[in-house]
Amino acid sequence: MRATRRTTLLRAAAVSGAAAVALALPTGAAFADDAPPTAPPARPEQQAGPEQPAEPTTPSAGPKEQRRFVTTVRLADGSVAKVHRVGPGHFEADVYAGSTKLDTLVSKNGRAAHGRHNGLHVVLQPNGTVTSWVEGTKPAPKPEPKPAPERKGKPVAESSVRVNLPGGRIGKLVDGPQGKRVEIATYKGERVATVDLKNPSVFDDGWTYKLVQDGKRVKFVVIDGRGGGDSWGYDFGGRLIEQYTAERT
């Protein structure tokens, strides 16, 4: 009985000792018999360091824009701007006073560039044009073209009619927005003269051609000075509205 009890105590002590050793070891050592999981290999770009430097980035190749001279513009104070085209929608203007370069204006992406120096204002427009003015004055705005006068919603167009005139001439009677006029030519188409309300009369080779204001109506009169003074009057529809025959002596 004593031997059995001693054996049992030894076994219990051994088990207790083994448990103590196991508890004393760190957690990793307790699972040292199991094969640790293999870590995936690092990618090349993750291994950059003194032994394996990262590959340099290569800049993307693209077409180079060239600076080409366009024109020289005289500015409001006597200085000049030399305009260059660099690329589509990209203009640059170098402003010079004599041989001294004052500034470079850059217009890109549809935006105008503005510069100022000693009261001089310079603007480089997106289309490459340059405007300038001196402090206290501004460039006069460009007059907008006036539309042609309209009649019943439609623009007034010129009307013309050709008439065979006495004396071997042809008259083109024109009525339009600029007023009435008559263009006189030979049968071969050679221009002789033009009469209008500002210059209403002309004399050629013994014949007189003139416009006459008759109330609200304007008529064209041809007078034969060589043949005694006979005359013919036309309206601007080309109709002969009057004729006068001089008395013969």
Give pLDDT tens digits for 102-131: 899 999 998 999 998 888 889 999 999 999
Q: Note the pLDDT of residue 152.
A: 59
pLDDT in tens, 29-42: 333 344 444 444 44
Q: What is the chain's alpha carbon radius of gyration, rounded to the nearest angstrom?
A: 51
pLDDT at 177 over 60: yes
Question: How does the average pLDDT of the chain come out, rounded?
Answer: 76
- Calpha distance 82→92 (Å, rounded): 8
| DSSP line for 135-195 | TT--PPPPPPPPPPPEETTEE---EEEEEEETTTEEEEEEEETTEEEEEEEETT--EEEEE
What is the pLDDT at residue 125? 93
Q: What share of the chain is helix, strand, coil (3-state, %, to 5)?
A: 10, 45, 45
Of the given ranges (49-58, 144-153, 165-174, 202-211), which has the lowest mean pLDDT?
Answer: 49-58
**What does the pLDDT read at residue 189?**
86
The pLDDT score that the predictor gives to residue 129 is: 93
The mean per-residue pLDDT over the stretch 186-194 comes to: 89
Tell me: pLDDT of 204 over 80.
yes
Residue 204 vs residue 12, higher pLDDT: 204
Provide the token pair at 198. 């500002």
Lowest-pLDDT range of 29-43, 159-173, 188-202 = 29-43
pTM across the whole model: 0.39
Higher-pLDDT residue of 126 and 50 is: 126
Q: What is the mean pLDDT of residues 232-239?
A: 92
pLDDT of 46 above 90: no
The more confidently predicted of residues 170 and 3 is 170
C-alpha closest to that of 172 among 199, 192, 149: 192
User: What pLDDT is recorded for position 124?
Assistant: 94
pLDDT at position 36 is 46
